[in-house]
Amino acid sequence: MPRSPRSIPYNEAMSRFPGVDYMLIDSLFSEQELLVRATARKFVDERVIPIVRDCFRDARFPKELIPEIAQLGFLGANLEGYGCAGMSNVEYGLVMQEIERGDSGLRSFVSVQGGLVMYPIHAYGSQEQKDQWLPRMQSGQAIGCFGLTEPGFGSNPAGMQTRAKKDGDQWILNGEKTWITSGSLADVALVWARTDDGIRGFLVETGTPGFTISDIHGKLSMRVSVTSSLTFSDCRVPASAMLPGAQGLKAALSCLSQARFGIGWGVLGAAMDCYETARQYSIDRKQFDGRPIASHQLVQEKLAWMITEITKGQLLALHAGRIKGQGKIDAAHISMLKRNNVAMALECARLSRDLLGANGIMDEFPIMRHMCNLETVKTYEGTDHIHTLVIGERVTGVPAYK
Ligand SMILES: Cc1cc2nc3c(=O)[nH]c(=O)nc-3n(C[C@H](O)[C@H](O)[C@H](O)COP(=O)(O)OP(=O)(O)OC[C@H]3O[C@@H](n4cnc5c(N)ncnc54)[C@H](O)[C@@H]3O)c2cc1C
């Protein structure tokens, strides 16, 4: 059995990162939530921060961290049973925050594994699929990826052209998925395809004849994450590969809601890291008569903007976590969380980069890496525009996508 964060004593989990808490938000967290955060924080400080710059430089995903991430209970952390840690949504959010403070690419790996592959198997899978995959996925022995986007259909997955045709007791898949996180790391791909009965999800194991994977190179963002294209050419899978409970695009979108919730929390970590780096730098860096740049009003204005927006983002994430735990959250709430917090984090990265002057472009500091990563986070899991339209539809009743 993996060791869940609950079994780790608090004093083992102290961190060097001071945290960002202007408005005493920590007082709103339970002791258990703070313990989980401290555990994730320590892991990121000790195991991620020391290697992440080189991983980003080398475009290398640190596979060697998977067993530890799994052992800490971070894979499928908010799912129950099958060895999963059964964390609350707020505990899960805090884990995402800390991991993304390390790097958005590592958080993407954890989000895809838990929110986009384990969650749909848990929610829509057969008992056999759950037994086969969930214990192995929570322990990091099996890795998953989620194939929804196609070369011609990103923001509008409803137009997908990948097809699955029934042939006796098999399905035959044809089509292409692209921009797939963890594609070539994966043992199994959850692939969404059009059938005569609407859009359905299929679990396709790597190595299945007709299923090929190629990695996308040349990314200036998410370099710590593996991103791949998946091609299906008369790829035959058994009838039992289909998720029986996932009917229509709404099932795929429900998985995205899980992952977007984690993103809304995760980007807080990237924003905090940028803010804290710039705050400290502005105190240390002297210009004009040996005075710290923090003594200038224009510098303080940027720091004041950042800490205010981070604080608002923390409260939004926390409230979203609480209402998710009460079963009251819906997709339009999560759109607001994802859209607001990603835009806020990206602006914090840009302002922090500015405050570091020339040093801001160096990978010795984490800011430019976060900024590049956040450009992806703004685009994936529903672009900023699409979430704007979701909110617009909620408040007007008028869809404006077309
Ligand atoms: C590093 C990375 C990892 C990813 N991982 C995954 C993954 O694991 N699985 C997966 O399935 N996908 C993944 N994606 C794909 C991602 O979800 C898509 O890129 C995203 O949905 C946007 O699609 P697109 O890139 O085709 O952009 P497009 O849909 O072509 O959009 C381009 C621009 O047009 C705007 N636009 C489009 N339609 C409208 C509209 N109606 N109104 C206003 N503006 C509009 C968009 O907002 C955007 O600004 C990943 C992407 C990246 C970059």
Closest atom of ligand 1 relative to the 382 alpha carbon: 21
113 lines ligand 1 (CB under 6 A): no
299 lines ligand 1 (CB under 6 A): no
Residue 214, beta-bridge partner list = 229
- 3 state SS of 83: coil
Closest atom of ligand 1 relative to the 221 alpha carbon: 1
Alpha carbon nearest to ligand 1 atom 30, residue:
154
276 is catalytic: no
pLDDT score at 16: 76
Which residue, chain included where needed, has tokens 């005075």? 291
Closest atom of ligand 1 relative to the 219 alpha carbon: 1
148 alpha carbon – ligand 1 mean position (Å): 11
pLDDT (tens digit per residue) in 232-277: 999 999 999 999 999 999 999 999 999 999 999 999 999 999 999 9
Torsion of CA 37, 145, 271, 288, to 10 degrees: 120
- Contact present, 215 and 228 (Cβ < 8 Å): yes
pLDDT (tens digit per residue) in 338-356: 999 999 999 999 999 999 9
180 lines ligand 1 (CB under 6 A): yes
pLDDT score at 15: 62
386 lines ligand 1 (CB under 6 A): yes
Mutate to test the pocket of ligand 1, among 149, 249, 258, 377 (most ligand atoms within 8 A of CB): 149
Q: What is the pTM of this model?
A: 0.96
Residue 10 has pLDDT above 70, yes or no: no
pLDDT score at 1: 39
Tokens of 125: 């899978």
> Which of 98, 309, 347, 381 is labelled catalytic?
381
Listed residue (322, 317, 227, 226) closest to 270, CA to CA:
317
190 alpha carbon – ligand 1 mean position (Å): 18
Measure the CA–CA gap between 149 and 380, rounded to whole angstroms: 10
111 lines ligand 1 (CB under 6 A): no
pLDDT (tens digit per residue) in 79-138: 999 999 999 999 999 999 999 999 999 999 999 999 999 999 999 999 999 999 999 999
Measure the CA–CA gap between 10 and 325, rounded to whole angstroms: 24
pLDDT score at 109: 98
222 lines ligand 1 (CB under 6 A): yes
pLDDT (tens digit per residue) in 23-82: 999 999 999 999 999 999 999 999 999 999 999 999 999 999 999 999 999 999 999 999
Measure the CA–CA gap between 353 and 277, rounded to whole angstroms: 10
* Strand bridging mode 286-287 / 144-147: unpaired
